[in-house]
Amino acid sequence: MAKNTTIFTLLQNFISQEEIKGILAEFGFEDTARKCDVSTLLAYLVGAAAFEWKSLRHAADVAPAQGLKSVDYSTLSKRLGELNYQIVKRIFDMIVSRLNRVTRRKLERKKGLLAIDSTTITVGETRLPWALYHGKRSGIKPHVSFTNSTEMPLKVVETTGLKNDGPIGVQLEDKRFILVADRAYFSIDKADRYAQTGQDFVIRLKENIHLSRKKSLKRAAVEDSNVIGDFTCIIGTKQKQTKRRHRVVEFVDYEGELVRVVTNRRDVTAEEITDMYKEHWAIESFFRWIKQNLNVPVLFGTTENAVYSQLFAALIAYVLLKFLQTECHKKKNCKRLSFAGFTRQLLCDTLPIEWRIELKEILDFHRKLYQVDIG
């Protein structure tokens, strides 16, 4: 197989050896390995996700053909078990921060949407006894904030599968964005707190939650609108209810189901509120894509360090690939490709010539930009 080093080149562009050494120092981790240092292990894990290598043994066999240093299976396995996964998470945070920042520089838009949700990745209970889930299953759960404008995760909190979404969601809040979330993330206290602190939000309400003292808001008639209610109200019962009035928009979804969302945005139409909530589907597509295309359910180890290191390396692979596709789509010469189509052709080295030319320019440009950014 011909070498395809594009993703590894971009990885090196956005995280330098010196920065990795600095992160290792933060965690007091001594990287004494000669043949398989942290940078090499990270490249193997990112490559395993992108190229869907099915095991560490498979990775050891095929990685040199993709330009990586030759490392035997037993060494990879040992290093994966030794490495504190928080190091890989810290590298992910640094890379995704840079990629989001570079992308947003070229965007001029109103306050963007930040979808919040989680997904559970399950395996048999004997594989991860420290992460029991339901029945004979065990699993981990990445809780993600996802920026719709860049189609990238902004922050990830890792837990075992049984952790509730609501409390973890607090760690994903960000006042720079409008939070868009499903029912699991609503609470009466949270709605009042958001209204007080200025955190914009659009969150779906549970079907059985009580709404009282409704006051309809004036709105212009909109043809073919699926909005059936737009009002302010008190949410909850006398025993536990909001201290403030909140805006609720009711609409019918494409399946004919009634959906109620609460928001503190009064400056937009009800139809715009429904559109904001509908954009929540983007994070669901993201979850589906990483499970189907990045080897996430195929575990290379069973310890917390091994499992979470593999998860964050897969997320690094995703943001690098998404960044490349997004940047190429900005070029007039590149015919649009779906993310799946772009990824498949990139990794198989079958991209059209005009894409290859633009990719080289993008890699060269961001290598220079990166060097300027970190001084």
Q: What is the pLDDT of residue 1?
A: 35
Q: What is the pLDDT of residue 6?
A: 83
Q: pLDDT digit string (tens) for 158-191?
A: 999 999 999 999 999 999 999 999 999 999 999 9
Angle between helices 353-373 and 6-14 (to 10 degrees): 20
Looking at 2-16, 101-115, 285-299, which range is the least confident one? 101-115
**4 token code pair:** 């395809």
Tell which wins on pLDDT, 225 or 104. 225
User: What radius of gyration, in Å, describes the C-alpha atoms of the chain?
Assistant: 23
* Upper half-sphere CA count for residue 24 (Cβ side, 13 Å): 17
This prediction has a pTM of 0.91
Single-letter code of the amino acid located at 345 = Q
> What integer best gives the mean pLDDT of the chain?
90
Q: pLDDT digit string (tens) for 104-156?
A: 554 444 689 999 999 999 998 889 999 999 888 999 999 999 998 889 999 99
Domain borders along the chain are 6-92+299-373, 195-266
Residue 3 and residue 90: Cα distance in Å, rounded? 28
Model confidence band, residue 98 (pLDDT cutoffs 50, 70, 90): confident
Q: Which helix (H) or strand (E) holds 116?
A: strand 113-118
Q: How many CB atoms lie within 10 A of CB 143?
A: 21
Model confidence band, residue 3 (pLDDT cutoffs 50, 70, 90): low
At which residue do the structure tokens 């902004």 appear? 154
Q: What is the pLDDT of residue 85?
A: 97
